[in-house]
Structures are given as structure tokens and as C-alpha cells.
Structure 1
Amino acid sequence: MNIIGLGNALVDVLLRLENDQVLHEIGFEKGTMDMISEQQMIAIRSSQQHLQKSQTPGGSACNTMRALANLGVNAGFIGKIGTDEVGEYYEQAVRKAGVTPYFIQTPGISGSCTVLISPDGERSMGTFLGPGPTILPEEIKEADLSNYHCLYIEGYLIVNEALLRGAVQKAKKLGLKVALDLSNFNIVKSFKRLLEDIIPNYVDILFSNESEAEAYTGQQAEDAVKTLSEIVDIAIVTLGKEGAIVRKKAETIRVKAEGGKPIDTTGAGDHFAAGFLYGQSVGGTLEQSARTGSLLAGHVIDVIGPEIPEFQWEQIKLKVREIFV
């Protein structure tokens, strides 16, 4: 199954905090993602220049596509970038990862996400989206989508209703499966009415974490996954250190979390989605797919940033093969 992602093209700037005091100083709630302006982004980084910093290509859907490419899946990514050095760096990084880029370029600066990593590994994000949310429905080309079997959409694009509707309608017209990650409970709360229309009518595979599932259904994870499975083909609710629940029709499976104490949880959900979609792309069972997702998530939380180091992938692929024996 060839898979193409649609999402915000963001460069992640990761800062390791000495303590959580700075979160209070800048008005961030720990563990959440807040949208910030270009000026706020610059101010936060300037005030934390003394901290250990690293930079990596990010964006939820792109993280998932790069992980899929590392597993050997034919993956593509649609996003919007600026004409600056950040956009150039991003495109080169995506190509290097083996993902086919379908970038829409517009004059100006590209988006980025400042990730503040607490000593316990929890991350709080301030995101300047740049041109990402301004993708127009007509910029999603059917000719590009037709090369794939599944369209994976990150929930951060829910704020662009015209784009979301246009993308899922084109995907269904071409016979693609649609996978959606709800991404953030605040977005779910703010756009619940839209989601109540889009999800039952267009979504085949729905990813969420506990808070997102509760924001949509008003229920705790065990009941939420049952409710969600009544409106989509496959419903997944990730539970952090408690693993994940997956349900398809009357079949429910649970998998445990992999990995040790997290160093940084950035990208955990993105990699779970990658592992699950990989399993489905090769005809795996729900359990095999979910175990692969848990395996990838367990590896990414052991490093700083949203990507697993290149040298680890051969060992990971051996473990994946064991799951599918």
C-alpha cells in the first residue's frame, strides 16, 4: 500500500529545559501545543539561547511518512513551504529520508515548531505554522494522489475546512483509504461539529490519544474506542505508557507500550501511526499492526526529537519481521 501524507511542513527546533519554570513564564501549559506568532517564536528562542538545542525536519504527517519510508513503504508528502533556507533544508531532508515530496512553494518564511522538553521527557510545543495552513484545495492534485492507495492527514489541518473537505473528497473519488490523526484535543473541541461530519463520511482509519478520544466522544478510552469503531473501519486510541487499544467491528485488541522511561515523547504518536499503517499495508492483523506501532513509538521516545536515528533502523526492521512471523 503506497501512502501519502498531508500536513504542515515544519522544522522542529528542540530545546531541553532545565526545569518547568520557563513554561509558566511564557504562558505554556505543559504537554500541550499552542499556536504562536512569528514574533512569539523569535522571543521564546531568544530567551532560551543558553539551552541545548537541535534542529530536525518535523510536522506530524511528515514524521509518519519518513518512518514509513524507512520501513520500505512507498511514501509521499504534501506540504507548503516558503522560499527561505528553512524550506530548502526541509525539502532536502524529506528527499534524503526517501519520501517523495509534493511541495507547494510560496514567497516568505517556512513554518517551524519550538519544542520545549521538560526534564521528565514531556514536551510542550509552540508552533508557528508559516504557510502550511494556507494550502488551497485546488493545490492538491488528483494526479499526485492517484499514485497512492491511502491518504494520511494530520489533525492540525482541521483548521482549514476547505482543504480538509477537498482532500478527503478527492481521495474517495480516486478510491483511496483515508486515515486521520486527531492530533490535539483543543482542535477536536474547537472543530467537533466539522469532525462529526467528516469522520463518519470519509475516514477509514482514525488515530487518537486518550484526551482526543474523550474530547470527541465524551467517554473514557475503553468506551470511546467502541463508539469510534461504529463510525470508522478501524479506531485506535493510544494510552501513553499504558499502550494502545485498537478496535475493528467487534474485535478489540490491546498492546503494551514499548521502550523505557521516555527522554522525549515528541513524535511518539506519529511513529505509532507509521507502524500501524505499515502493518496494514502488508496485510497484517490488528495485533501485528499495533505491535509494530508500539515498537516504533518505543524507539522514538528514547531519543531527542521526532525521528529515530538512521543506525537503529536495521535492528528495528529485524524486530518487525519477528512480529510478522
Structure 2
Amino acid sequence: MKTIGLGNALVDVLLRLDSDEVLKEVGIEKGAMDLIDRNKMLVIRKARQQLESNTAPGGSVSNSMRAMARLGAHTGYIGKTGTDELSDFYEEELRKAGVTPHLIKVPGETGSSTVLISPDGERTMATYLGPAADLVADELQEDIICKYNCIYIEGYLIVNGSLLRRAMELAKQCGLLVALDLANFHVVRGNRELLHELVPKYVDILFCNESEAEAYTGQPAREAILTLSKEVQIAIVTLGKEGALIAAEGQVTVIPVSGGKPVDTTGAGDHFAAGFLYGFTRNATIEQSGRIGSLLAGNIIDVIGAKIPDERWEQIKLKVNEILA
């Protein structure tokens, strides 16, 4: 099976601050997670030139597609970027990971999510969506989507109802399975009516964490999983340090957590989804797919950022093969 992702194409930048003056300059409260405008983004990028930084391709579904590709899956990615050096970097990193990029490029700066790390270790997140937020339904190309067997859609796109609906309609017209991540409980609460329409109608595989499951169903996770399983073919609720629940064909499978004490939980859900979808494309059992998801999540929480280091992948692949044996 070939899987294509659809999401917000953002570059992640980890920026180590010498002081909190940059935060004052751009007017961001320390420790906050803010959407910022272009002017604030340009101030941050100027400051970045003099500071220690680490850059990586981001966006939750992009993270998943790259992780799947590193395991050997055939994946592609649809997103919208600018025409700057970050756009070139983003495309190059997708290709390096083995993902086929289907990027829509428009003049301007590519969106970025900057994590500003203060000298005391506290993190402030500033996200400039840029072109990523302007992807529209008419820009989706049926001939591209029809080359794949499954589409994995980023939950943050729920705020763009026409885009989300069109993506799901095209996928079904082409005979694809539709997988959706609910992304954030605030997004779910603000778009419950649309979700309750689209999920039962189009979605085959639904990913969410316990707060998102509760926001969608009004029930705690262990009750929500049963409700969700009546609407989709496979429902997955991740539970942090308690692992995950997967419901399919009337059965609930408990997946134990993998890895030790988290260093950074960024990207854990993205990598669980990647592992599960990889197993699913290999015709693995629900339990095997869940264990692969847990394995990848356990590796990403052991490092800073949302990218598993290159040197870990050979060992990960050996463990995946053991799970699939």
C-alpha cells in the first residue's frame, strides 16, 4: 500500500536564546504557544542568525510520512510552502527520508514553528503558518491522490472545512482508505458538528489522544474507544504513559508503552501513527501494528525534537522485523 499525507507544511526551528530579550521584542509571553504574524516571524528569523539553532521539517503528518518512509513504506506528502530557502530545505528533507513531495509553492516565506528555549530551559512556541494555512480545496489534484491507497490527514485542517471535505471526497472517489488525526482537543471542541458529520461518513482509521477522544464523544477514553469504534473501521486512542487502546471489529486491544521516562514528548503521537500505519500497510495484525507504533513513539520521546536520529533506524527496523515475524 502507498500512503499520502496531507497537512500543514512547516519548518520546525529550535532556537536557544542568550536572554529573553527576543521574546520582549516580538511581544510573546514566555512559556506561551502563540500563532504569530509575518512581522514577528521576520524578527525571530533575524535573531536566529546570531543564535544556536536546529532546523527540521515539521508538521504532524509530515513527521508521520517521513517515519513511515524510513521504515521502507511508499509515502507522499501534500502541503503548501513559500519559495524561500526553507521551502527548498523542506522538499530536500522529504526526499532524503524517502517521501515523494507534492508541494504547492507560492511566492513568499514558508511557514515555521519556532521553539524559543530560554536560558533557564523554559520553552516558548511561536508558529507562523504562512502559505500552509492557505491551501484550498481547488489545489488538490485528483491524479496525484489516485496514485495512493491510503490518505492520512492532519487534524488541524479541520478548521478548513471545504478543504477537508474535498480531500475525503477525492480519496473515496479514488478508492483510498481515509485516516484522520484529531490533532488537538480545542480544535475538536470548536468543530464538533463538522467532525460528527465527516468522521462516520468518510473516515476508516481515526487517531486521537484521550483529551481529543473526550472532546469528540463527551466520554472518558475507555468508554470513548467503544463509541468511536462504531463510527470507524479502526479507532486508536493514545494514553501517554499508559500506552494506547485500539478498537477494531468489536475487540479492544491494549498496547503497552515502549521506552523509558520521556525527555521530550514532541512528535510522540505522530510516530505512533506512523508505526501503526506502516504495520497496517504490511497486513500486520492490530496488535503488531500497535506495537510498532509504540516502538516508534518510545524512540522519539527519548530525544529532543520530532525527528528520530539517523543512527537509530537500523536498530528500529530490526525490532520491527521481530514484531512482524
Report if TM-score (shorter chain) is over 0.5: yes
Aligned to 2:242: 242
- TM-fit CA distance, 1:139: 1.4
Q: Which runs of 5+ in 2 are unaligned?
A: none
Q: Residue 123 and residue 166 in structure 1: after superposition, are their counterparts in 2 closer, same or farther (change >3 A)?
A: farther
Q: What CA deviation, in whole Å up to 9, does each residue of 1:246-301 have, x standing for no partner?
A: 11131101111111122211111110000000111111111111110000011011
Distance (Å, rounded) in 2 between the aligned partners of 1:265 and 1:121: 15
Q: What is the percent sequence identity of the aligned residues?
A: 59
The 8 Å contact of residues 179 and 205 in structure 2, kept in 1 or not, is answered as yes
Q: Look up the equivalent residue of 1:267 and give its one-letter code.
A: G
Distance 1:276 1:47 in 2: 39
CA distance in 1, matches of 2:37, 2:133: 13
- Where does 1:226-305 land on structure 2 (aligned, <5 Å)? 226-305=226-305
1:314 matched to 2:320: no
Q: Which residue of 2 aligns with 1:129?
A: 129
Query: How do 1:120-159 residues align onto structure 2 when only pairs under 5 Å count?
Result: 125-159=125-159
Contact 1:23 1:29 in 2 (8 A): no
Measure, in 1, the Cα distance between the counterparts of 2:172 and 2:122: 37
TM-aligned CA deviation for residue 119 of structure 1 = 11
Q: 2:243 & 2:47 partners in 1: Cα distance?
A: 36
Superposed CA RMSD: 2.7
Q: How many Å separate the matches in 2 of 1:23 and 1:206?
A: 37
Partners of 2:161 and 2:144 in 1: how far apart?
A: 21
- CA gap of 1:297–1:119, structure 2 versus 1, over 3 A, is farther
Shift of 1:304: 1.5
Match of 1:26 in 2: 28
Give the paired residue count: 322
Instruction: Output the TM-score relative to the length of structure 2.
Output: 0.91
SS at match of 2:228: helix
Task: Assess, with a 3 A threshold, how the Cα gap between structure 1 residues 50 and 189 changes in structure 2: closer, same or farther.
Answer: farther
Tell me the CA shift for residue 107 of structure 1.
Answer: 0.8
Write the distance in 1 (CA, Å) between the matches of 2:23 and 2:231: 38
Shift of 1:162: 1.1
* TM-fit CA distance, 1:35: 2.6
Single out whichever of 298-307 and 123-132 deviates more from structure 2: 123-132
CA offset at residue 53 of structure 1? 3.0
C-alpha contact (below 8 Å) 1:121/1:265 kept by paired residues:
no
